[in-house]
């Protein structure tokens, strides 16, 4: 983990309230495990806490890190309006990411994502492809007009979409899609990131899978486990785990969702 002032070199609005920002700096040369995140300080003195963002992709050759985020409050709205060229005080990479070293070329992985839990899964899919792993994606959104990174995921493997309103792909949520299309399919690894309902569905379905992992979305303040603002309860013993430092990735069946 390093602290660096990264330069904002590009920003693009992907959907109504989802943005992609590209940051440039030496942090792009740090080893990144898919599922790790960075903590960005919003350049506003009234906002003391950093904002955590999952790393969507890293390009060391261009010194670039891509982040995708939804505008949900004052901090993210301010970030979406920043001009190119501004420097952002950033900590990262932080947390424990998705384990992948056990996979071999030709094995199969299922990646399950929903909403703004999807961006860190893109870097995961990229790295699995580089390893020769066959990747299948199950991705959920509320509506068709909320979909982003469609071409990017399609270039990496099979994609099955679900939308809550049925405007694109399967009509229903991710849990329903898995029941309808994946009951007879076996995978060597399962990875998921998204809202609570999605994580609960994956945790219930794959709790006994030897290599199934979920990445939890949580409000995080310090990003390093010092403030204990993001604790979750362990399932099988009386213990509190910190999403930012013990996670954000956990094996299924390990934490209360």
CATH number for the domain spanning 152: value is 3.40.50.80
Q: Domain of 53: which CATH number? A: 2.40.30.10
Is 99 a member of any domain? Answer: no
**Do residue 112 and residue 219 come from a single domain?**
yes
- In a domain? residue 256: no
pLDDT of residue 217 exceeding 80:
no
Residues 82 and 113 in one domain: no
CA distances for 108 relative to 135, 194, 205, 253, angstroms: 6, 21, 17, 21
Q: Side-chain half-sphere of 199: how many Cα atoms within 13 Å?
A: 23
Domain that holds residue 24: 2-94
Structure tokens that stand for 190 in this block: 């399962």
pLDDT at residue 228 greater than cutoff 80: no
Is residue 102, in this structure, part of any structural domain at all?
Answer: no
Q: For CA atoms 11, 12, 15, 16, give the dihedral sign.
A: positive
b (16+ CB within 10 A) / e for 55-83:
bbbbeeeebbbbbbbbbeeebbebbbeee
Check residue 171 and give its pLDDT. 98
What residues contact 75, with CB distance under 8 A and at least 6 apart?
Answer: 42, 44, 47, 49, 51
The whole-angstrom separation of Cα 32 and Cα 56 is 11
pLDDT of residue 221: 67
Note the pLDDT tens digit of each residue in 128-143.
Answer: 999 999 999 999 999 9
CA–CA gap between residue 166 and residue 51 (Å, rounded): 33
Binding residues: 68-70, 75-76, 222, 227, 230, 244
Torsion of CA 146, 134, 184, 189, to 10 degrees: -90
Same domain for 163 and 56: no
The band of 226, judged by pLDDT with boundaries at 50, 70 and 90, is: confident
Residue 53 in any domain: the answer is yes
Domain boundary among 94, 124, 140: 94
Which residues participate in the annotated binding site for FAD? Answer: 68-70, 75-76
71 in the same domain as 39? yes
Chain centre distance of CA 38: 11
The least confident of 115-124, 159-168, 210-219 is: 210-219
Residues 41 and 73 in one domain: yes
As a whole number, mean pLDDT of residues 200-223 equals 88
Whether 100 is covered by a domain: the verdict is no
Looking at the fold, whether 151 and 89 belong to one and the same domain comes out as no
Structure tokens, 74: 């004052």
Closest to 216 in 3D by CA, of 133, 116, 141, 122: 116
Whether 257 is covered by a domain: the verdict is: no
Are 116 and 75 contained in the same domain? no
Residues 87 and 162 in one domain: no
- Of 94, 117, 143, the residue that ends a domain is 94
Query: Residue 219's pLDDT is what?
Result: 66
The region that residue 206 occupies, defined by phi over 0 for left and psi between -120 and 50 for alpha, beta otherwise, is alpha
Specify if 126 maps to a domain. yes
On average, the pLDDT of the chain sits at 95
CA–CA dist 67, 56 (Å, integer)? 5
**Distance between CA atoms of residues 221 and 50, nearest Å:** 6
- Name the binding residues for [2Fe-2S] cluster: 222, 227, 230, 244
Residues of the chain above pLDDT 70, percent:
98
User: Do 133 and 7 belong together in one domain?
Assistant: no
How many distinct structural domains can be found in the chain?
A: 2
Distance CA 148, CA 201 (A): 23
pTM of the model: 0.95
């Amino acid at each position: 983990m390093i602290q660096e002032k990264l330069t904002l070199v590009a920003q693009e609005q992907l959907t109504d309230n989802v943005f992609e920002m590209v940051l440039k700096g030496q942090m792009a040369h740090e080893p990144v495990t898919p599922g790790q995140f960075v903590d960005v300080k919003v350049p506003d003195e009234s906002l003391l806490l950093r904002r955590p963002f999952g790393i969507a992709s890293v390009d060391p050759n261009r010194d670039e890190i891509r982040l995708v985020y939804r505008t949900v409050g004052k901090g993210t709205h301010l970030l979406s309006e920043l001009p190119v060229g501004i420097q952002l005080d950033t900590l990262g990479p932080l947390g424990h990411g998705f384990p992948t070293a056990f996979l071999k070329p030709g094995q199969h992985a299922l990646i399950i994502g929903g909403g703004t839990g999807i961006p860190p899964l893109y870097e995961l899919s990229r790295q699995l492809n580089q390893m020769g792993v066959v990747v299948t994606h199950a991705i959920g959104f509320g509506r068709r007009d909320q979909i982003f990174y469609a071409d990017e995921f399609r270039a990496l493997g099979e994609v099955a979409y679900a939308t809550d309103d049925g405007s694109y792909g399967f009509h229903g949520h991710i849990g329903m899609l898995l029941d309808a299309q994946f009951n007879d399919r076996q995978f060597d690894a399962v990875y998921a990131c998204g809202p609570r309902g999605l994580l609960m569905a994956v945790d219930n379905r794959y709790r006994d899978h030897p290599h199934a992992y979920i990445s939890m979305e949580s409000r995080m303040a310090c990003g390093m486990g010092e403030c204990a603002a993001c604790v979750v309860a362990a399932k099988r013993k009386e213990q509190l785990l910190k999403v930012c430092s013990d996670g954000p990735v956990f094996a299924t069946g390990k934490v209360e969702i």
